Structure 1
C-alpha cells in the first residue's frame, strides 16, 4: 500500500468513527477537538486530529474534520471533512 493510500485509508476509517454520533449527541460538545496517536492500516505511527465545528452559526450543521499525519509532517497529511445535518429538536 502506498504512503498516501495508507493515510487516506486511516482518515476514511476515522471519519466514519467520528460520525457515528448524531447531531443531538454532539451539539453539547461542539466546538470540540482532540489529537491522539495511533496506527494506519499498514502500521505507520501517525497522529489523528478530530474536530467538531459549527458549520455556520452555533446550532447549525456540525462540520466534522479529520486529519491524519506523521508527527513530523503535518503538511503531508490527509484531511477529510463531512457534515452532520442539524436535527430538529
Structure 2
C-alpha cells in the first residue's frame, strides 16, 4: 500500500478538527449527566490512515459548569505522536 500524499501531522490535525467539530455539537444538557466521560475508537483520517480517536468530556473548572471537549488523534501504536485539540461546550442555554 502506498503512503498517503498528506503529511502525517496535517492529516492528523484535519481528522482531529473534524472530530472536535462533531463532538461540540452535543448539547450541554445531554452531556452534563455523563461528564466526566471519554472513549477511544478506531477510524480513518481524510488521507485514509488508520488511527485512534480519543474523545473526552471534562468539567472546565467545576462540576456543573462548562464542559471541555478534548480530542486526541494518534496512530494506533504511537499515542505521543498524536494531535490534541480542545473545545468548550458552554453551560449557557442549557
Q: Please report the TM-score for the alignment, with normalisation by the length of structure 2.
A: 0.90
1:52 to 57, 78, 93: 57
Structure (1/2) with the larger strand percentage: 1
Look up the SS of the partner of 1:75 in the other structure. Answer: helix
Root-mean-square deviation (CA, aligned residues, Å) is 1.0
Q: How far does residue 87 in structure 1 lie from its aligned partner after superposition? A: 2.4
Task: Pick the structure with greater CA Rg.
Answer: 2
Look up the SS of the partner of 1:20 in the other structure. Answer: coil
Q: Figure out how many residues of one structure are paired with residues of the other and give that number.
A: 89
Q: Which runs of structure 1 show a deviation greater than 3 angstroms over 4 or more consecutive aligned residues?
A: none
Q: How far does residue 88 in structure 1 lie from its aligned partner after superposition? A: 5.2
2:68 to 63, 68, 80: 63
Structure 1: runs of 5+ lacking an equivalent: none
What is the rounded CA distance, in whole Å, between the counterparts of 2:27 and 2:56 in structure 1? 14
Structure 2: runs of 5+ lacking an equivalent: 1-5
What is the rounded CA distance, in whole Å, between the counterparts of 2:28 and 2:68 in structure 1? 10
2:30 to 25, 29, 41: 25
What is the rounded CA distance, in whole Å, between the counterparts of 2:50 and 2:23 in structure 1? 19
2:20 to 3, 10, 15: 15
Q: Please report the TM-score for the alignment, with normalisation by the length of structure 1.
A: 0.95
